[in-house]
Structure 1
């Protein structure tokens, strides 16, 4: 029924256009039939085909917008002409080269046809994270569309962890994170901190832009490293366009920029396809931060201020055990809804007093504080288990699994296992 309505609206729009301009639509049809195509060369025919396709796209868009004035729930069709129309609009207002091609189309369909529930969740998380990202991007005069890179990297999940150990919204490896002052210890992983990791991502991409002076190449370098991008430029004969060097990039990176283009399109125009954000518990501008001066557990905050633990985990994903530690020389902060933050400042003495009793009663079960300064890569030998490796380095099996993104205890001979040892 909606298809019929769209076609009917298009016909009405075309008819109204003819009446408004004084053009006889029947005459237009008659003239189009009488075009002497046999006298046109192939170039002219190609130009005519392109013009007709453009007119068809414009008429379709006019019909769609006319129909949405009557029924705002009418979704856009998943057609090439529609994708091309809005991609051109997107390309005109961003420094990225927003190309539309079969590769991009495949990822667009992944978001808009097969992954609508996931897209809805990411839209919801975007309502919280994007204002935060935009503050940092604006500070460095970077394209605001870079916020959509976190959609590709982590699906806007601040606790996302790849099979190679990249972590957080921006998927920092341990070594790269350390270069940008993202610290890791027993209780805190700064790579999961939305504010700190966003600052680090901005600094890293600015450094890449100084090298390549092209934002599409910056994206490729973010994924594969600047060395692989330089290598692809050399192999391509010195080309400096992403699409020209794409065949020479690692396989994953060759899909990375098309996926970014599709993610940007889906997040910008998903609402036109009938996809909206899921519910979100709080917006970024409704939160505030408080400096913690004494160790606290999320449970005390919940008991004293009525803020749900799950909400605190969402706002503070960097704290591994729902504990905000106090470490000499380091400042830790807790994000809370604004009202709760104000109440915390007023009643923090009583909250800290309750926290003292809580931790004293559980001291024996609390993990020791260890600063993860050095990373060791252990190669699995014949007969070794995760238990053997954990005992050798003074860590827990669960920690090794978390550091390496392992779903089970199964390991194979020769496998490389990342460990942050407590003893060597």
Structure 2
């Protein structure tokens, strides 16, 4: 029985050495054990000059614990000399979408060279701008079931610019057309353009991309459809089905891209996305130094209809540029009329906003007035009288009527007059609700899906069958979503320019 007792005592010894000593408060009713003390039946000799603990008592070091463990167990799990970790060595970057497989693909390598060469300053500036929205976008991508690194799609679309405007009238960070944006539930009218709202447009982009990925079974085909239109991608997959028979996943995009079928912009789109993701995760490797910006953060408050941005800025202790930056979707220097509206203000200013807003004189909270045009009135004269520019007056009255050839205003018109502060805070943008397209093609009809529609209801509308629509669009399942473009009838090919433009709508 003696060997067992010795082993038990050794185990208790090591346990005591490893466990911190309790304070008197932790062990009421018992004498406090000295820190580092051990079983009195087997005392430990503490050499002179040994380190002391906080109470001035000899402290047991890790070295001694390790030595005692070796004596008892013949080995030690405690390393006497911890490994030296090179903190300067950067962790290997990771992506949650497949970029490494295509890193050496010719067009990907081309754009890596371009983005880190002659376009390096522009790309670096855009990546810096994107850092402000990155946490928000990544969170929404994740919540929507998409890889977070699809965040870089916005770099290719707009350089993370909420006010980006393309020649095709696509607007915002995610470059939506008016019809598609409305189909995705965004408000687009003369007062508000939510395509410019980074939060709402990101949600719409996530839903759109996820719908395309579910339809095509590939993230990169979904990206191609986001750029060039799902109809174009679906028809390409149907046309080259034999060549794609043994191709799976994202490889399908590169096979389709080799067929000279996709528009050049769409063909280059995915390689640009991959190149951007490669560079952005390792900017120093490519000679870029990025300075992250403060995250896009805000408080939300509700204000009455037709509230000037200047009044919101004053109550928030902010400035018009900052309020406009947080609310880029408010186009006219004021909130829209008729109903109360939720606006964003700098974080931390929401607690006192209501009381400070109430202190603003009522006259300063009025955004517009209405006057009736009189005989002899002109735009310039009326604008000067109200201390605004003629351009601002015309912007707030796009349907103003003038007499010919004098150009004077038709008497008796109700003219909307913005206050000088509202006029100065308004954006100089065209009416976003107007979209003009070339005439349709007799060879091809494209339908933009609206909320509540089904493949069957659309088929009935165009006097065709659900099976026909699914075949025309290369659909495996009868799953559609608002904003999606569907080919609903075709008499032969789809090579007309008008057809191509329509297929590229998003």
What TM-score, normalized by structure 2, do the two folds share? Answer: 0.52
Partners of 1:359 and 1:401 in 2: how far apart?
A: 21
Pick one of 252, 270, 282 that aligns with 1:269. Answer: 282
* Partner residue, 2:430: 399
1:291 partnered with 2:302: yes
Pick one of 195, 205, 208 that aligns with 1:204. Answer: 208
Pick one of 160, 179, 198 that aligns with 1:175. Answer: 179
Q: What are the superposed Cα offsets for residues 290-315 of structure 1, whole Å, 9 maximum, x if unpaired?
A: 22223222222334443122222222
* Partner residue, 2:442: none
Query: Which structure's residues are more often helix, by fraction?
Result: 1
* Partner residue, 2:318: 307
User: How far apart are 1:114 and its partner, in Å?
Assistant: 1.9
Partners of 2:164 and 2:146 in 1: how far apart?
A: 25
* Partner residue, 1:348: 357
CA contact (8 A) 1:126 1:156 kept: yes
> Greater CA deviation, 186-195 or 351-360?
351-360
Matches within 5 A, 1:212-361: 212-238=216-242, 239=244, 241-247=252-258, 248-278=261-291, 280=293, 282-285=294-297, 287-328=298-339, 332-351=341-360, 353-357=362-366, 359-360=368-369
CA contact (8 A) 1:295 1:352 kept: no
Q: Are residues 103 and 288 of structure 1, via their aligned partners in 2, closer, same or farther at CA, if it must alter by over 3 Å?
A: same
Q: What are the superposed Cα offsets for residues 48-95 of structure 1, whole Å, 9 maximum, x if unpaired?
A: xxxxxxxxxxxxxxxxx98x949x9xxxxxxxxxxxxx8xx656x425
Partners of 1:352 and 1:197 in 2: how far apart?
A: 35
Segments of 5+ residues of structure 1 without an aligned counterpart are: 1-64, 73-85, 371-386, 388-396, 406-414, 416-424
User: How far apart are 1:124 and its partner, in Å?
Assistant: 2.4
CA contact (8 A) 2:131 2:295 kept: yes
User: How far apart are 1:205 and its partner, in Å?
Assistant: 1.3
1:107 partnered with 2:111: yes
Partners of 2:387 and 2:335 in 1: how far apart?
A: 15
**Partner SS, residue 335 of structure 1:** strand
Segments of 5+ residues of structure 2 without an aligned counterpart are: 1-84, 371-385, 399-406, 408-427, 437-497, 499-506
**Partner SS, residue 334 of structure 1:** strand
Matches within 5 A, 1:28-39: none
Partners of 2:187 and 2:341 in 1: how far apart?
A: 12
* Partner residue, 2:170: 166
Q: Are residues 126 and 120 of structure 1, via their aligned partners in 2, closer, same or farther at CA, if it must alter by over 3 Å?
A: same
User: How far apart are 1:254 and its partner, in Å?
Assistant: 0.7
CA contact (8 A) 2:189 2:433 kept: no
Partners of 1:172 and 1:228 in 2: how far apart?
A: 17
* Partner residue, 2:155: 151
Partners of 2:309 and 2:195 in 1: how far apart?
A: 20
**Partner SS, residue 117 of structure 2:** helix
Q: What are the superposed Cα offsets for residues 182-235 of structure 1, whole Å, 9 maximum, x if unpaired?
A: 121212111111111111111111211221111011001111111111222233
Partners of 2:124 and 2:118 in 1: how far apart?
A: 12
Q: What are the superposed Cα offsets for residues 271-324 of structure 1, whole Å, 9 maximum, x if unpaired?
A: 3334233474x4224x22222223222222334443122222222111112222
Q: Which is higher, the Rg of structure 1 or of structure 2? A: 2
Q: What are the superposed Cα offsets for residues 102-126 of structure 1, whole Å, 9 maximum, x if unpaired?
A: 2112211222222232223222222
1:135 partnered with 2:139: yes
Partners of 1:128 and 1:352 in 2: how far apart?
A: 35
